[in-house]
Amino acid sequence: MLLKLSLSSLYARLVTVGMTVIAISFSLMLYMSVEKLRTSAYTSFTDTISQTDLIIGARASSVQLMLYSVFRIGNATNNITWESYLDIVNKEEVDWAVPISLGDSHKGFRVMGTNKDFFARYKYRGGQSINIDKGYLFEDLYDVVLGAGVAEKLGYDIDTPLIVAHGLQSFSEHDDQPFRVSGILEKTGTPVDNTVIVSLAAIEAIHVDWSTGAKIPGQETPIEEIRKMDLTPKNITAALIGVKSKLTIFNLQRWINEYPEEAMTAILPGAALQELWRVVGVVENLLLGISIVVIFTTLIGMTAIMFSSLSERRREMAIWRAMGASPRTVVGLLMLEAIFISVLSILLSVILLFFSLSILQPWIDYNYGILVNVEMLSLRDMYVFMTFIFASILVSLLPAIRAYWFSINDGMTIKI
Amino acid sequence: MDENIIKIDSVRFHWSKKSSFKIFVPNFEINKGEKVLLLGESGSGKTTLLSLICGFLNPLSGSISINGSTINKLSSKTKDEHRADNIGIIFQQFNLLPYANVIDNIVLPLYFSKVRSANVTNQRESALNICKQLRLPDDIDQYKASSLSVGQQQRVAVARALIGNPSLVIADEPTSSLDTDAQQIFLDLMFEQISNNKSTLLMVSHDKSLAERFDRLIDINEVLTRED
């Protein structure tokens, strides 16, 4: 009976209550989407590379090395020579190594030279391998393998011909040596999706007639001749390394960092990702902070609305009292109302969240490579909801105490 | 058996120490089944007296006994229950919860009083029955309280005050918002029902012309003295 009357009282104030519910649910949704994006971004980010023990490159900060070798953002300061690379590979601690050569691009996508080991050794999301979706890995010198994102955005398929441009924003193209798509990878949600992968030899081949970043005028070696050449690279940009025993990682890292013949840096991917996340994470914490403030503001708004409705409901409370309701019942009614409003807001916000996420998920994935997990509410979300309900009970105490005071003092007088 | 439904003895009350409004009620008694009209101008302390009788306010000293129990000795919870069990209240106006339907408004006191709900076997039927006797429309249960005329609302308030047969009905100027014709109709219907129920009625008004309907007419100034 009380519940029924409380609900019809809310229903009678449909517009005010409705607006409050909408305001609260939007702020809750804001909070939850920030939270979802944050956790998804974090998992997408930290799962970008796994099971690689060390990444080596020319002397640079760990964040920078991480950015260009894994995320393909920015440029390497320098290359490392093939000899140094071999020196490292031949160390007995090293189990495997995958060289990477960067620097060229195709229509805004980075071109990465590597060997087939890359596909076997590069792991993401806790050990998942890269799988080929269509075609095969490069067999011919001029074969390329496309990340899923590249193929999708450029509309390429197997056998599509393509030309690699020199550098990242350059107009000079290696148009004398056209490539052909031999394989397309499955979507991974990592930067691999946006990478054009060729063999190391191919990187050498397209630079045969080039010297220090420019084409040597008049020189044009025919493709048949290039095919016969020794295309072992002279330089690479970075390398992924796996060790036989985890215990030797730090020794090997120090050995590389102190390598006398060349200035190199070896980083632990996990640690570098964490470090990088701390930089990126500031924004995310800021967003989180803002959305918490928004929730807080809405709670205050709800209290304000309850306060303002209190004076017009004073006579209603006097009626309740006259019927024999204790002041506690009157207070309970107000609290019930607050709980009802917050539960309704939570439900609406969850609906809004899933609705908007399921619409936006492909877009976010496509544009930012963040796979937002739409499926379930986390335990953390439940805690947030519980806290919110608790907080709304707490803030509704203020108008409720006032109502208590009214109902004790008003007695027979009905104030309007 | 106690013949007094209301018995007030040496009650003193003021809102706060600073307040100039202090009242003293030496002795005030109403017998069971009596219909009493309490006359007084506004500001004379009528409403304060009613609040004391209903147990909304606590006297500083003295005793207030309603239907045999000294309510100022009861805990606030028991006092609320006692009020629900024994007193039906009709306000000047705005008696009803506007968002609830008429039947829910009428049966509301039964929710708070076990005694009164025990007197009613079928709440809805009983409510409709009283409505019928109060000449409310047959389809009154279709209405929301807010859609009724003021006169109808006051009659619904009577139905609510009478449901479950409380021993005392307190009406605080129930006719003040009605025009003269409506007043007469309202009073006729109310008196008929109260007589049927054998309830005691304490009605407050400033209108002397109503006196002939009542067993007794009391001037508020005879009941209480202002101690300014």
For residue A185, tell me if it sits in a domain: yes
Q: What is the pLDDT of residue A413?
A: 65
More confident residue, A307 or A115: A115
Q: What average pLDDT does the segment A189-194 reach? A: 88
Q: Is B83 in contact with A327 (Cβ distance < 8 A)?
A: no
Residues of B within 8 A of A411 (CB-CB) are 47, 50-51, 54, 56-57
Which pLDDT tens digit goes with each residue over A6-49? 888 888 888 888 888 898 888 888 888 888 877 777 877 788 88
Same domain, A14 and A82: no
Residues of A within 8 A of B54 (CB-CB) are 322, 411-412
Q: How far is A26 from chain B (nearest CA, A)?
A: 28
Q: What is the pLDDT of residue B18?
A: 65
For residue A276, tell me if it sits in a domain: no
Report how far residue A411's alpha carbon sits from residue A330's, in angstroms, rounded to the nearest whole number. 13
Q: How many CB pairs under 8 A join A and B?
A: 78
In contact, B72 and B84? CB cutoff 8 Å = no
CA dist A104 → A110, A118, A168, A239, B11 (Å):
6, 18, 6, 17, 99
Provide the mean pLDDT of chain A.
86
Q: Which of A267, A293, A311 is the last residue of a domain?
A: A267
Provide the mean pLDDT of chain B.
86
Which pLDDT tens digit goes with each residue over A243-252? 999 999 999 9
Range with lowest mean pLDDT among A128-132, A270-274, B19-23, B127-131: B19-23
What are the counts of helices (DSSP H) followed by strands (DSSP E) for chain B? 8, 10
Same domain, A209 and A89: yes
Which pLDDT tens digit goes with each residue over A326-344? 888 888 888 888 888 889 9
- The model's confidence at residue B1, banded by pLDDT at 50, 70 and 90, is very low
Strand B200-205 and strand B35-39: pairing? parallel
| Host domain of residue A312 | 2-45+281-410
Number of domains in chain A: 2
Q: Which of A267, A302, A320 is the last residue of a domain?
A: A267
Which pLDDT tens digit goes with each residue over B193-215? 888 888 899 999 888 888 888 99
For residue A92, tell me if it sits in a domain: yes
B177 φ, ψ (degrees, to nearest 5): -100, 10
Report how far residue A224's alpha carbon sits from residue A218's, in angstroms, rounded to the nearest whole number. 18
Same domain, A309 and A221: no
Residues of A within 8 A of B83 (CB-CB) are 322, 324
Q: What is the pLDDT of residue A227?
A: 87
Residues of B within 8 A of A414 (CB-CB) are 91-94
* Amino acid letter for position A65: L
In chain B, the N- to C-terminal Cα span, in Å, equals 38
Strand extents, DSSP E, A194-284:
195-199, 210-211, 214-215, 235-236, 238-243, 264-267
Query: Largest alpha-carbon pair distance within chain B?
Result: 53
In contact, A119 and A199? CB cutoff 8 Å = no
Beta bridge partners of B35: B201
Residues with Cβ within 8 Å of residue A226, at least 6 apart in sequence: A141, A177, A205, A208
Residues of A within 8 A of B94 (CB-CB) are 315, 319, 414, 416
When CB atoms are compared, the residue of A1, A324, A410 closest to B113 is A324
Q: What is the pLDDT of residue A416?
A: 44
Which pLDDT tens digit goes with each residue over B141-151? 888 888 888 88
Residues of B within 8 A of A315 (CB-CB) are 94
Same domain, A176 and A307: no
Report how far residue A148's alpha carbon sits from residue A187's, in angstroms, rounded to the nearest whole number. 5
Q: What ipTM was reported for this prediction?
A: 0.86
For residue A273, tell me if it sits in a domain: no
Report how far residue A401's alpha carbon sits from residue A403's, in angstroms, rounded to the nearest whole number. 5
Which one-letter DSSP state was computed for residue A318? Answer: H
In contact, A55 and A272? CB cutoff 8 Å = yes
Residues with Cβ within 8 Å of residue A180, at least 6 apart in sequence: A140, A142, A143, A144, A159, A160, A161, A162
- The model's confidence at residue A57, banded by pLDDT at 50, 70 and 90, is very high
- The model's confidence at residue B2, banded by pLDDT at 50, 70 and 90, is low
Range with lowest mean pLDDT among A198-207, A364-373, B77-86, B90-99: A364-373
Which pLDDT tens digit goes with each residue over B29-64? 899 889 999 998 877 788 888 888 988 888 888 999
Q: Is A316 in contact with B54 (Cβ distance < 8 A)?
A: no
Q: Which residues of A touch B (CB under 8 A)?
A: 1-2, 4-5, 8-9, 11-12, 315-316, 318-319, 321-327, 408, 410-414, 416
Same domain, A335 and A219: no
For residue A416, tell me if it sits in a domain: no
Report how far residue A98's alpha carbon sits from residue A112's, in angstroms, rounded to the nearest whole number. 12
Residues of A within 8 A of B147 (CB-CB) are none
- The model's confidence at residue B75, banded by pLDDT at 50, 70 and 90, is confident
What are the counts of helices (DSSP H) followed by strands (DSSP E) for chain A? 13, 16
| CA-based nearest residue in chain B for residue A1 | B111
Which one-letter DSSP state was computed for residue A222? Answer: -
Q: What is the pLDDT of residue B40?
A: 85
pTM for the model? 0.69
Predicted confidence (pLDDT) at residue B5 exceeds the cutoff of 70: yes
In contact, A231 and A260? CB cutoff 8 Å = no
Q: Is A326 in contact with B76 (Cβ distance < 8 A)?
A: yes
| CA-based nearest residue in chain A for residue B55 | A411
Selected residue of B19, B93, B111 to mutate for chain A interface (largest A Cβ count, 10 A): B111
Whose tokens are 């490579």? That residue is A369
Residues of B within 8 A of A410 (CB-CB) are 56
| CA-based nearest residue in chain B for residue A9 | B99
Beta bridge partners of B101: B144
Predicted confidence (pLDDT) at residue A375 exceeds the cutoff of 70: no
Whose tokens are 């963040």? That residue is A370
Selected residue of B56, B87, B147 to mutate for chain A interface (largest A Cβ count, 10 A): B56
* Coil vs helix vs strand at A126: coil
Predicted confidence (pLDDT) at residue A382 exceeds the cutoff of 80: yes
For residue A63, tell me if it sits in a domain: yes
Angle between helix B180-197 and helix B123-133 axes, rounded to 10 deg = 130
Same domain, A59 and A41: no
Element at B9 (helix H, strand E): strand B4-14
Which pLDDT tens digit goes with each residue over B86-109? 999 988 877 888 888 889 889 989
For residue A313, tell me if it sits in a domain: yes
Same domain, A58 and A123: yes
Q: What average pLDDT does the segment B114-138 reach? A: 88
CA dist A141 → A98, A197, A221, A227 (Å):
18, 12, 15, 8
Beta bridge partners of B197: none
Predicted confidence (pLDDT) at residue B191 exceeds the cutoff of 50: yes
More confident residue, A175 or A414: A175
| CA-based nearest residue in chain A for residue B53 | A412
Whose tokens are 């439904």? That residue is B5
In contact, A161 and A178? CB cutoff 8 Å = yes
When CB atoms are compared, the residue of B91, B96, B99 closest to A12 is B99
For residue A274, tell me if it sits in a domain: no
CATH no. for B4-226: 3.40.50.300
